[in-house]
Amino acid sequence: MKGIYRLALSFSIILIFLLALWFRSEHLDHSAHPDNDSIVQQKAFNELQAEDLVMTIELFLQQVKLDLAKWQEDMEEDPALRENWLNEQINDHPHIDGFTAFSMPSKEKLYEKGSLPEDAIDKLFQGEPEINGWTYSQPYISQGSKKMVLGLTKDNHCFVSEVDISFVEKYVKELASLSDNNGNFFIGDSQLDVSFSDEEAEVDELSVVKKIPELDWGLYLSSEQEFSSKDHLKKGEVVVVLDDDIDPEKWSKEHEVFLLDYSGNSAVVRDLTRDAEEMMEEWYGDPTVVYMEPNYTFEKQTIAKETNLLPDDEFYNLYQWNLKQLHVEGAWSETIGSDIPVAIVDSGVDPSHPDLEKRIVKGYNAFEDNEAFVDDNGHGTHVAGIFGAVTNNGEGIAGVTWSNPILAVKVLDHEAIGNSFSIAKGIRWATDNGARVINLSLGDEHRSEVMHQAIKYAYERDVVLIAATGNDNVETPMYPAAFEEVLAVGSINDLEERSFFSNYGKHTDVTAPGEHIPSTFVGGQFVMMSGTSMASPHVAGLAALILSRDETLTNSEVYDIIRSTAFDLGKKGFDQYYGYGTVNASEALKQ
């Protein structure tokens, strides 16, 4: 019943498309009336996210077909299953109401389980029946719910099921509203409008219209032209680095501030009655303070020798174009990974996901300083799946690596927002706990010295650091990606073109797939997401494969291999949009 469990949960995949890309308006200095460039950028984001939504609905329909085809095959092998077993399957399935077999072309009913409309076969075939393959009816309303009939014609038989599809409107609209209220959708806090009919839709210049062929529906998606800025400082919080002989607890009491957290001689202090600049101005010249900075916020950056078999995971051939573009199949002929740990420093990871639970060996929560690394956002789980979902298990997706264990490090909260101090703690913990590769699908334009010190701490201990460049389509350096010790990864699409949202600049090292990427999500789900957040773990996975092939390599040598074997894109040689090009796993492993 695992397939049914995944299917039942996958209906909330629509939430992922809303969380797939974040766009911070303060990078663009908008006024109340955005300029033409802003409108073009907004329309492009709407277009991409509408595509993610349509693809997730297609992913759902594909899973329905896989379940129904499996039922049909099982019953063909053992006709006795048509009795109690089939009833159990239908009763347990939250969205399939009945299953019937007809003899074709006579349309004689052979057996029926569950409930189906009397005219199910007529709803399915308006004209001549299909000889073999899948057929969909037009959506219709039955007992207050939107439904459709789905049929598989095979060997003079047609196997028909009624599927409840009312979830589409319900989940799209409810979860879109939820995401918008959380400030994670589009530019600023723009209002979302998702409709499925011409009568409902309010079409304007930002509207995007997409067709869902299987359902014969049109998806209308738009957003208001409202732009607002987010505060990228934790209110009233300052990170201070004190002299070695100064006790942070005593110092905070003397300075009448609350000590939130400390590690060694670095501490985070808070006074909600003042802003960070006021506090820093007061302490300027204090001989006990070596360095201080606001506690900046950072966000997610939301798109084999051991075996002769290619992955048999159910979504690999149909949806994982990204791994094929990465040329990872050639790399797997060299290695599918090893026991070298890789840290996913993000919003945590879902430890119960069937495609991840066997890969996670340890975890850490930088906010609470404990092992509570459960992901309550979903971003980190999606990133982890791209890197290393359990592969060749006949279910879900394939990961870039098949074997490397995952250290799940939670440094972003339920809104996928963290701060420089928590991220720095997470990087140090991952380093101290054996990570040879750290993935950082997060960032902001603030050059935090506290974070840089943690980056250097990891780099000096030979850790490979991979980070996303950001999703603002700007040249502004994003940290930690722009630190010289880090390999910065931009995003490309399936045509090997730079994603319109991908940040660029001289600090960009390479690019990797980052649009419409299927991966794991909280609650055992599989969803599509887009962003440089999705590009980065492809490269982290490649780094893990390289080290699995030769663990004596230094981090700088791993960087050199990734850069030198990248396939050149854009202008000949290095350029600010593609760096050294798109990563090529097969060539990297050959070198």
Task: Give the span between the Cα atoms of 273 and 258, in whole angstroms.
Answer: 11
Active-site option among 97, 313, 346, 472: 346
Q: Verify whether residue 533 is a known catalytic residue.
A: yes
Task: Give the span between the Cα atoms of 222 and 225, in whole angstroms.
Answer: 10
Active-site option among 161, 222, 499, 533: 533
Task: Give the span between the Cα atoms of 307 and 356, in whole angstroms.
Answer: 20
Grouping H, G, I as helix, E, B as strand and the rest as coil, residue 459 is helix
Active-site option among 93, 95, 353, 379: 379
List, in order, residues 6 or more apart from 201 with CB less than 8 Å away: 193, 195, 207, 220, 222
- The maximal CA–CA distance of the chain, rounded, in angstroms, is 92
Alpha carbon separation from 109 to 102, 103, 113, 121 (Å, rounded): 4, 6, 11, 10
Q: What torsion, rounded to 10 degrees, do the Cα atoms 90, 95, 97, 102 define? A: -90
Strands (E), 375-461: 406-410, 417-419, 437-440, 442-443
The tokens for 220 are: 């209308």
Q: Phi and psi dihedrals of 230, rounded to 5?
A: -100, 150
Q: Phi and psi dihedrals of 581, rounded to 5?
A: 120, -165
The tokens for 440 are: 């950082």
Task: Give the span between the Cα atoms of 131 and 120, in whole angstroms.
Answer: 18
The tokens for 101 are: 């077999």
Q: Verify whether residue 379 is a known catalytic residue.
A: yes
Task: Give the span between the Cα atoms of 47 and 39, in whole angstroms.
Answer: 12
In 3D, which of 5, 13, 325, 48 has the Cα closest to residue 171? 13
Q: Which region, left, alpha or beta, applies to residue 525 given φ > 0 means left and ψ of -120 to 50 means alpha? A: beta
Amino acid at 441: S
Residues assigned a catalytic role:
346, 379, 533
